Amino acid sequence: MTKFSDLELNPKVLKAIADAGYETPTPIQAGAIPPALAGRDVLGIAQTGTGKTASFTLPMLSLLARGRARARMPRSLVLCPTRELAAQVAENFDTYSKYLKLSKALLIGGVSFKEQDTLIDKGVDVLIATPGRLLDHFERGKLILSDVKVMVVDEADRMLDMGFIPDIERIFGLTPFTRQTFFFSATMAPEIERITNTFLSNPARVEVARQATASETIAQSVAMVKSSRRDRADSEKRALLRKIIDDEGAACSNAIIFCNRKTDVDVVAKSLTKHGYDAAPIHGDLDQSQRTRTLDGFRAGDLRFLVASDVAARGLDVPAVSHVFNFDVPGHPEDYVHRIGRTGRAGRDGKAITLCNLRDEKALAAVEALIQKTIPRLDMPSDSAPPEPEPDQDSDAKPARSSRMRGKDKPAKGDTSETSQTGPKADAVKPASENPEKAKSRQNSRKTGGDARTMGMGDHLPSFIALSFDERRSD
Ligand code: AMP
């Protein structure tokens, strides 16, 4: 088995690794570090949890240990799809570079340009950024990328999901073609393949086993949600979630509750808080300081329930949680595996409970097809009678139906995991039998991606209301 000391890393980096308590390199580290130190490009096919961050951070630090950065000209660049991931990579750099005198800057949205400008002006060895914020700095003339010697693209498949690929291509074009590139992706979609063929030069390809199935230590179950009335479906679902949490009792020490949509993240967090549960939301529309505070609180064990969207939670290195609750079945089945992988880590037991209503049954079938097993159904007393919500329950938790709110309801750019329920939701109101006119109207609505929950319009839904999310999406 390879040891860190076999890897020819800088001795000061090795010392920091020993301090971190790592004994042996993970497979992605053992595979990626030697070619990276030899100056080759690396294509790493690995996902979060494999130790991939250190697999590029450690060789980068060793390569950068000699030399100094010039003003406004960073010597290396790490691109991450989300602010949280960028912040996490920055923390990794701090850990492993503690015995080196290297400077770094983190360029993410939600932080003032002025602070970031000051750092860049001084000259940084490592620049960690989200693509949009990096290009903003570049366009303001504050950043010169012609001295970048190493460039990393992390979580490229998520970049693709979020519509960042054109930005990435542009950034590649702004750096010297002599740079060394480390490129990481959990999957190799054709578009990702194209980018790597264009911008990587004879890369060492290092692939670690894809997590196709969830850990055996995770007990999975599904609670089928049957609402008594359509107008109560949402509040009954929240009541069911509380009941499930209560049934888990003290065994549920902390949990991540995943929702497909950002508005639901807010509503569920607010509703839980209102009912006396210690919960806070995290998603892309919240300001950075709030997101950081919430995550820190959750990591420190001060917050019991983190209500999250897939994108905000993706790749976050959160210590093991006792439970994962899926408030909705994710629209992308792979997200189910990622979500529940937050529990049952390092051989510990974990529980993953998914709420599924009629309109999510197709999505559930897709999840079961991916993991190749049927998830046991929870025997909920609610099968006969769903938990009765309080009369005014969650009235203050519902988002205002203003046009501004509807705008917020929109998924982030290309943020498919938060839009993917449009299809299944459109099936939600299909009655057992219906007249042909109604069926036609419903089909039209579905064709255009229209939200079949639109009520009060009779059968003649004005076409502008039936526009699909894609057509309405502007950012
Ligand atoms: P990542 O896949 O980069 O998000 O890393 C997942 C977790 O593994 C992080 O908490 C790292 O601190 C940890 N880790 C990375 N490399 C090692 C290693 N060689 N030995 C033990 N833990 C590691």
| Lowest mean pLDDT across 67-81, 156-170, 229-243 | 229-243
How confident is the model at residue 167, as a pLDDT? 97
Is residue 315's pLDDT more than 70? no
Out of 154, 317, 338, 342, mutate this one to test ligand 1's pocket (max ligand atoms within 8 Å of CB): namely: 317
Mean pLDDT throughout 366-376?
88
Q: How far apart are CA 31 and CA 17, in angstroms?
A: 17
Burial 421-459 (b: 16+ CB within 10 A, else e): bbebbbebbeeeeeeeeeeebbeebbebbbbbeeeeeee
| Lowest mean pLDDT across 67-76, 175-184, 412-421 | 412-421
| Lowest mean pLDDT across 79-93, 205-219, 323-337 | 205-219
**Domain coordinates in residue numbering, the chain:** 4-207, 218-384, 418-474
Mean pLDDT throughout 16-40?
93
Distance of CA 43 from the midpoint of ligand 1 (Å)? 19
Mean pLDDT throughout 238-249?
94
Q: How far apart are CA 334 and CA 321, in angstroms?
A: 19
Distance of CA 30 from the midpoint of ligand 1 (Å)? 13
When computed from its CA atoms, the radius of gyration of the chain, rounded to whole angstroms, is: 24
DSSP 369-384: HHHTSPPPBP--GGGT
Q: How far apart are CA 475 and CA 287, in angstroms?
A: 17
How confident is the model at residue 86, as a pLDDT? 94
- Specify the amino acid at residue 323: H
Distance of CA 54 from the midpoint of ligand 1 (Å)? 7
Distance of CA 63 from the midpoint of ligand 1 (Å)? 20
How confident is the model at residue 407, as a pLDDT? 32
Residue nearest to atom 13 of ligand 1 (CA): 51
Is residue 230's pLDDT more than 90? no
How confident is the model at residue 325, as a pLDDT? 96
How confident is the model at residue 377, as a pLDDT? 93
Global confidence as pTM: 0.59
Q: Is 53 in the pocket of ligand 1 (CB under 6 A)?
A: yes
DSSP 123-169: --SEEEE-HHHHHHHHHTT----TT--EEEE-SHHHHHHTT-HHHHH
Q: Is 317 in the pocket of ligand 1 (CB under 6 A)?
A: yes
Residue nearest to atom 5 of ligand 1 (CA): 51
The values of phi and psi at residue 241, to 5°, are: -60, -45
Q: Is 92 in the pocket of ligand 1 (CB under 6 A)?
A: no
Distance of CA 182 from the midpoint of ligand 1 (Å)? 18
Is residue 65's pLDDT more than 70? yes
Distance of CA 410 from the midpoint of ligand 1 (Å)? 34
Burial 212-245 (b: 16+ CB within 10 A, else e): eebbeebebebbbbbbeeeeebbbbbbbbbbbbb
| 116 vs 388, more confident | 116
Return the CATH number of the domain spanning residue range 218-384.
3.40.50.300
How confident is the model at residue 389, as a pLDDT? 54
Q: Where residue 345 falls among pLDDT bands split at 50, 70, 90? A: low
Percentage of the residues of the chain whose pLDDT score is greater than 70: 75
Q: Where residue 40 falls among pLDDT bands split at 50, 70, 90? A: very high
Q: Where residue 420 falls among pLDDT bands split at 50, 70, 90? A: very low
Q: How far apart are CA 199 and CA 174, in angstroms?
A: 12
Distance of CA 135 from the midpoint of ligand 1 (Å)? 30
User: Of the candidates 15, 38, 98, 105, which has an alpha carbon nearest to the alpha carbon of residue 69?
Assistant: 105
Q: How far apart are CA 472 and CA 475, in angstroms?
A: 9
Q: Is 50 in the pocket of ligand 1 (CB under 6 A)?
A: yes
Distance of CA 28 from the midpoint of ligand 1 (Å)? 10
How confident is the model at residue 413, as a pLDDT? 37
| 38 vs 393, more confident | 38
Is residue 332's pLDDT more than 50? yes
User: Which atom of ligand 1 is found nearest the CA of 48?
Assistant: 2
Out of 14, 22, 48, mutate this one to test ligand 1's pocket (max ligand atoms within 8 Å of CB): namely: 22
Question: Using CA atoms in the order 186, 335, 310, 131, what is the torsion angle rounded to 10 degrees?
Answer: 20
Distance of CA 315 from the midpoint of ligand 1 (Å)? 12
Tokens for 39? 């100056």
How confident is the model at residue 401, as a pLDDT? 35
Distance of CA 373 from the midpoint of ligand 1 (Å)? 29
Q: Is 49 in the pocket of ligand 1 (CB under 6 A)?
A: yes
CA atoms within 13 A on the CB side of 460: 0
Q: Where residue 153 falls among pLDDT bands split at 50, 70, 90? A: very high
| Lowest mean pLDDT across 115-119, 345-349, 352-356 | 345-349
Distance of CA 26 from the midpoint of ligand 1 (Å)? 8
Is residue 84's pLDDT more than 50? yes
Mean pLDDT throughout 77-101?
94
Q: Where residue 37 falls among pLDDT bands split at 50, 70, 90? A: very high
What pLDDT, in 10s, does the model give residues 424-471? 333 333 333 333 333 333 334 333 333 334 444 444 444 444 444 443
Residue nearest to atom 19 of ligand 1 (CA): 25
Which CATH superfamily includes the segment(s) 4-207?
Answer: P-loop containing nucleotide triphosphate hydrolases (3.40.50.300)
Q: Where residue 422 falls among pLDDT bands split at 50, 70, 90? A: very low
Q: CA quadruple 239, 244, 246, 247: dihedral positive or negative?
A: positive
User: Which atom of ligand 1 is found nearest the CA of 26?
Assistant: 19
Residue nearest to atom 8 of ligand 1 (CA): 51
Q: Is 22 in the pocket of ligand 1 (CB under 6 A)?
A: yes
Is residue 221's pLDDT more than 60? yes
Residue nearest to atom 18 of ligand 1 (CA): 22
Distance of CA 449 from the midpoint of ligand 1 (Å)? 41
Q: Is 88 in the pocket of ligand 1 (CB under 6 A)?
A: no
Topology agreement, domain 4-207 and domain 218-384: yes
How confident is the model at residue 122, as a pLDDT? 92
Q: Where residue 392 falls among pLDDT bands split at 50, 70, 90? A: very low
| Lowest mean pLDDT across 178-182, 274-278, 393-397 | 393-397
Q: Is 424 in the pocket of ligand 1 (CB under 6 A)?
A: no
Residue nearest to atom 22 of ligand 1 (CA): 22
Q: How far apart are CA 15 and CA 388, in angstroms?
A: 58
Q: How far apart are CA 233 and CA 336, in angstroms?
A: 23
